[in-house]
Amino acid sequence: MIVGFIGSGNMAAAMARGWAGAEADAPTQMLFTDSGSGRATALAAEVGGEAVETNEELVERSDFVVLAVKPAALDGVAASLPTPRAVLSLLGATPLSVLASHFPESTVIRLMPNLAVEVRTGVICMADPEGADQEIVAESHTLLGSIATVYELPDEQMDVATAVMGCSPAYFAVVAAALGQEGASGGLEPDVAIRMVGESMAGTAELLRKRTPFEIETAVASPGGSTEAGLEALAAAGGAEAFRRAYEASIARMRGA
């Protein structure tokens, strides 16, 4: 399968790096364009792909076109293209109906990946592809499954999923930076402190496959202990309420508020 990325920014790079390191089910070739920054050439060199001159050439040569531009660029990009066989759209807050109106003759699949596709432990939400060419849907699942766990959702749930799994690597990074900073202030090597927080997050992620968040919280926070003191301070400073606000702000931005 030849996969062409229109746009070579953060998310294109994450997916391409994930596929470049995958042992199976990766594209046979990856093609890239940008709007003139040179990121396509740099990314192609990094992952062993090819930067091509124009979006038109990329579409003509690709089995799958990954639309990896900002949503505001959609009109301009789509207007100048020949008909792609299949479009995988990464565009935030851009429903299937809008995508289909730009690519009426193509099979269009709406995705929402998160940054962890780069290390092949990502989450990719796929808007329910019912009615799409099922051979292309199956091929998409094979490709995407090599870098992520894929969830099919109704199109109207994609914004909520974006706020929960697309944005959250940045929120977890804030937590890691804050705890790492405190560890470093307390005398740990800054790199070691960040790695320890990261490993703790990875272990907690694994625990979440078996236990509820409440079970984990109560198993760590024994009465009168240091975690309990930390949780009380966290709650007093906003705690879970801060994440609720982050969620609401993301949703509001996606919905144009």
Residues contributing to the site for ligand NAP (CB under 6 A): 6-12, 33-37, 39, 55, 68-71, 73, 76-77, 90-92, 112-113, 115, 166
* Distance of closest approach, residue 245 Cβ to ligand NAP, in angstroms: 20
How many helices and strands (H and E) does the chain possess? 12, 8
Query: Closer to ligand NAP at the Cβ: 35 or 142?
Result: 35
**Apex 114 CA angle, 3 and 193, nearest 5:** 125
Say if CB 7 and CB 31 are below 8 A apart. no
Query: Closer to ligand NAP at the Cβ: 13 or 86?
Result: 13
Express the helix, strand and coil content of the chain in percent, nearest 5 each.
55, 15, 30
* Distance of closest approach, residue 22 Cβ to ligand NAP, in angstroms: 19
Query: Closer to ligand NAP at the Cβ: 84 or 193?
Result: 84
Query: Closer to ligand NAP at the Cβ: 90 or 193?
Result: 90
Dump strand ranges (E) for the chain.
2-6, 29-33, 50-51, 64-67, 86-89, 107-113, 122-127, 148-153
* Distance of closest approach, residue 79 Cβ to ligand NAP, in angstroms: 10
What are the φ and ψ backbone dihedral angles of 126, each rounded to 5 degrees? -120, 125
* Distance of closest approach, residue 10 Cβ to ligand NAP, in angstroms: 4
User: Cβ-closest residue to ligand NAP?
Assistant: 9
